[in-house]
Structures are given as C-alpha cells and as structure tokens.
Amino acid sequence: MSIRTVVVCEAQVPFVTGGAEYHVRGLVEQLRTRGYLTELISVPFKWTPKGELLSHAAAWR
C-alpha cells in the first residue's frame, strides 16, 4: 500500500473559533478516517497590503 499524505493549510484568526475552523478540523478527521496521513498547518491571519501578499504566501511553502 502506498503512503498517501495530505497537508491541510488554514489561516487562523487568533482567539476566534467558528465555522471555518470546524470545517478544517472535520476535513482532517475525515481524511485520517480514510487512511491518509494528514497534517494540519495553521498560520496566523494578518492583514497586509497587496504588495506584500506574495511574500506572505511563500510562508505556506
């Protein structure tokens, strides 16, 4: 059997929990149930000007 690996990335707003967070955690749980090796990566959300967007997107790499 081959190893199936999935990384789920989320932008997290500090001190706030709601539908998006429940959705992401449900996704991770369902992937694990189906045999995927799953990791959740949370990066704090911070508003930035458009000019800096690409450099901040590189944090997901």
Q: Nearest to residue 8, comparing CAs of 48, 17, 21? A: 21
Reduce the secondary structure of the chain to three states and give it as a string: CCCCEEEEEEEECCCCCCHHHHHHHHHHHHHHHCCCEEEEEEEECCCCCHHHHHHHHHHHC
State yes or no: pLDDT of 1 exceeds 70.
no
- What is the per-residue pLDDT across 3-61, written as a single tens digit (0 to 9) for each? 799 999 998 888 888 998 999 999 999 999 999 999 999 888 777 777 777 777 777 66
- Read off the pTM: 0.70
Write phi, then psi, for 57 (nearest 5 degrees). Answer: -65, -25
State the pLDDT at residue 46: 74
State the pLDDT at residue 26: 97
